[in-house]
Structure 1
Amino acid sequence: MHTARRDYETCALIGTGHFLSHFYMLCLPPLFLAWRAEFGVSFAMLGLAVALMSGTTALLQTPVGFLVDRHGARPFLVGGTLLMALSVSAMAFAEDFRLILLLAVLSGVGNSVIHPADYAILAGSIRKEFMGRAFALHTFTGNLGFALAPPVIAALLLVMDWRGALGLVGLLGLPVVAAILWQSRILVDQPKRKEKTLGGGALLTSRPILAFFAFFLLSAMAGTGVQAFLITVLGKLWGTPVAVASLALTGYMAGATAGTLVGGWVADKRGSNLLGFVVLLTLAAVALLLSMGLVPWPSLLLPLVALVAGGCLGASRTPRDVMLKEACPPGEVGKVFGFVSAGLPLGGAITPVPLGLLLDWGHPGLILPVVGALLVLSLLCAGGARALAATPRRAAAPAE
């Protein structure tokens, strides 16, 4: 019998692998100074290691999604997690920085499996009434991996060298793989389609899926803008001390992470009526973000405002994922989530340069309005995606 306990066990297994995938993405930057001293490479080359890992992940998510839908998610989840972890651990033995770059690519190959395989398994293993909370826990564990990677690596470097630190964190993947194999009976793959649907390419270029991709892309562009430039903007506009502005950014990130859990609970309670909730929360976040660029908030209130803004955006993320899952034809979850979630790293790559140019040209007051405009545009895409996906005939029509 499928129980709530099994739902939580499934989320724990899937979430642990998702935590590691995000953790490994940010475990390399704290090592840059040690690598620069050891290998004598430029900062551009050091950045290339992270770019190769994240870029490989983004590029391969969609083709891996096709394989997950065709052959099942569990073998790919086990193999991907193992490759991702062992590649990071093998960096500890590198004597040439070029080998680290190669291993970063291999880790990215393993990491590319995580999103399509995770969502395909969640679609088949979790009760419908718990799906929102399952997606929320999945997002939460990933954000936790991002948050913990830098301080964990920094702490390890206090007691061992960089080789020991990488070898240790890489080996963390082995018990995760063992747990997945041991408990694989509870990981049920997504239901297969019973009737002919659009081909994979036609599905991914259909209007609703492209609209969801734009929704994810624009949301990521806005979020990256806040994360990258909030401290600078507050300093230039109001002379906010770095410590206070950093606390505001920390509040924003904490709110965005915790908000996903609230969004999951709401998604399960509201069922399919989620678009209004997403619109309301996003507009509230836009108003709060704009206020930080228009009003010199007192130092005690500024972090609280940022916390609430981040919480609103975080709470809107889980309903976004649930709406996409509801738009997926049976048996197509892997490729759809692989394709659409690739918009997240792409959005993160697009934003920093143009927003940085606005700062270079002396317009810090435009940064938060641009972020707000991106979020409003994302809502238009969300509404279009929801409307198209709700109409089977129109949802089946490929984009022209």
Structure 2
Amino acid sequence: MAIPSLDFLPPSSIESDTGRRDNGRAARTLAVTGLNHALHDGFTDLIYVLLPVWQSEFALSYGLLALMRGLYSGVMAGLQIPVGRIAERVDGKMLLVLGTALSALGYFFAGLSGGVIGLGLSLALSGAGSSTQHPLASAAVSRAYGKSARGPLGIYNFSGDLGKAAIPALAAVLLVIMSWRHTLQLMACAGLLVAACIALLMPAVGKGHASKATASSHRSGRARGGFYWLLAIGIFDSAVRMGFLTFLPFLLRDRGASLPTSGLALALVFIGGAAGKFTCGWLGERIGTLRTVLLTEGGTAALILAVLVLPLTPAIVLLPLLGVMLNGTSSVLYGTVPELAPPHLTERAFALFYTGTIGSGAIAPVLYGLLGDALGPTVATVATAATAIAICPLALALAPHLSDEADARHSSV
């Protein structure tokens, strides 16, 4: 009888010295990719703290500010699928090292930029480096843990939220004691240090495996329709989240909030978002995807409107709960992708889902920014709440494609 290859067994199932070594390699892979995830997600959301600074420095409109934000996310989203193809021929560890170093250098050059063109090119360079992070690090963790990867992948995802909470808050404090240019250069040094950690500590990932599936006829009409409804919800949900976060620093500033207060407020949103990923994933298993999406999107709209009308202190108090609602939907949607995609197309479905949602996060702030230029930031923020409400009919259209019993019972809600 043939002996199964160790590459396809979870480390915990191998009873030998080799198994113990593989356990150690898997733990190192998770620790290093978690650190890398925290850095890149922190780099992504660091931009929100800097938007008011750049507005004063370069006299930018809301549309141009949103474009600065969109350049980073747009390049990152657009390069994820090509990066995955390159990883079929090059070790993923090397690509992670190069990508992290490139992202750090992008922020270093942003600190040296003398105008909006240089700033935009630097942010695009940093976004290109960050395009390696999600697809390659997720694959590295999955390959390291095999069938036992669900829990480690959850830890990996949570590490990104830690970076979102820590790095923008740290930057806001640094901006009080040094210029924004020196702050970015210090962050770039931290990024280069993380790249060195990947190179020295992370085990080799190996080359990716191209999909062996060739029969597209295996995809059922139900699965395809369900997946594209899911993708549409993900795109709109990302638009709401990124659009609101773009305007939040300005809403707080107009009420007298200082830079450290704005950094704290963003940290509260991101901490709430991390909690939302766990809470709403648990909630979705118990009451179903449909009801969870309706709850989170309805809650998002209501809390955005509450933040608009409340004074500064009560609004800040609500931000952790708003973070739960803003991020909660994404965790439910992500877990539903495998249900709606045929097994031989699951990887492709995840790649498309990531690209669609991140691309939406890049484009939507530009559209909301133009609306903010025309009608003001308050009206643009109300538009994000209206977008959240618009997701509810899409969720109802998705319900017939869902297989869990809770949604089957409540699809007529």
Distance 1:315 1:130, change over 3 A: farther
Shift of 1:297: 9.3
Contact 1:30 1:154 in 2 (8 A): yes
Q: Is the 8 A contact 2:302 2:385 kept in 1?
A: no
**CA–CA distance in 2 between the matches of 1:362 and 1:32?**
17
Q: Which residue of 2 aligns with 1:237?
A: none
Q: Which residue of 2 aligns with 1:376?
A: 392
Select between 344-353 and 163-172 the one with higher mean Cα deviation: 344-353
Taking every aligned residue pair, what percent have the same amino acid on both sides? 23
Q: Which 5+ residue runs of structure 2 have no aligned equivalent?
A: 1-9, 13-22, 218-222, 404-413
Matched with 2:365 is 349
Q: What secondary structure does 1:121 align onto?
A: helix
Q: CA RMSD in A?
A: 4.8
CA distance in 2, matches of 1:33, 1:208: 40
1:2 aligned partner: 11
Please say if residues 52 and 249 of structure 2, whose CA atoms lie closer than 8 Å, have aligned partners that are also in contact: no
**How far apart, in 1, do the equivalents of 2:395 and 2:199 lie?**
40
Q: Is the 8 A contact 1:121 1:189 kept in 2?
A: no
Alignment match of 2:327 (pick from 305, 311, 314): 314
Question: What whole-Å deviation, never above 9, does each CA across 1:257-307 have from its counterpart, x for those lacking one?
Answer: 22223456x49xxxxx9595333332233454565559x999998777664
**Alpha-carbon spacing, 1:71–1:206, altered in 2? closer, same or farther (3 Å):** farther
More deviation in 134-143 or 80-89?
A: 134-143
Over 3 Å counting, the alpha-carbon distance change for 1:325 and 1:90 in structure 2 is farther
Instruction: Look up the match of 1:145.
Output: 163
C-alpha displacement at 1:117, in angstroms? 1.9
Residues 29/379 of structure 1: CA separation in 2 closer, same or farther (3 Å cut): closer
In structure 1, what is the equivalent of residue 234 of structure 2?
216
TM-score (normalizing by structure 2):
0.67
Go from structure 1 to structure 2 and tell me whether the alpha carbon gap of 1:82 and 1:233 turns closer, same or farther (over 3 Å shift).
closer
TM (norm. structure 1) is: 0.69
What letter matches 1:114 in structure 2? Q
The alignment partner of 1:342 has SS state of: helix
Closer/same/farther in 2, CA of residues 263 and 68 from structure 1, 3 Å limit: farther
Instruction: From the superposition, tell whether residues 288 and 92 of structure 1 become closer, same or farther in structure 2 (CA, over 3 Å).
Output: closer
Which position in structure 1 is the counterpart of 2:200? 182
Cα distance between partner residues in 2 of 1:361 and 1:33: 13
Contact map agreement 1:18 1:141 (CA 8 A) in 2: yes
1:164 aligns with 2:177: no
Distance 1:263 1:165, change over 3 A: same
Aligned residues of 1:13 and 1:179 also touching (Cα < 8 A): yes
- Which residue type is aligned with residue 337 of structure 2? L
- Preserved contact between residue 10 and residue 125 of structure 1 (Cα < 8 Å): yes
Instruction: Give how far 1:214 is off.
Output: 1.4
The separation in 2 between residues aligned to 1:249 and 1:23, in whole angstroms, is 11
Structure 2 counterparts to residues 18-29 of structure 1, below 5 A: 18-28=37-47
Change (3 A) 1:23 1:92: same
Q: Which residue number corresponds to residue 172 of structure 2? A: 154
Shift in Å, 1:170: 0.6
Per-residue deviation at 1:18? 2.2
State the AA in 2 paired with 1:141. S
Distance of aligned partners of 1:193 and 1:358 in 2 relative to their CA distance in 1, 3 Å threshold: same
Following superposition, the deviation at residue 134 of structure 1 comes to 3.9
Compared with structure 1, are the counterparts of its residues 340 and 275 closer, same or farther at alpha carbon in structure 2 (3 Å cutoff)?
farther
1 CA distance for matches of 2:288 and 2:118? 48
- 2:410 aligns with none
Give 1:24 deviation, angstroms: 2.4
Aligned residue pair count: 367
Q: Of 276, 291, 304, which aligns to 1:280?
A: 291
Partner of 1:339: 355
| Matching residue's letter, 2:11 | H
Equivalent position to 1:259, from 267, 272, 276: 276
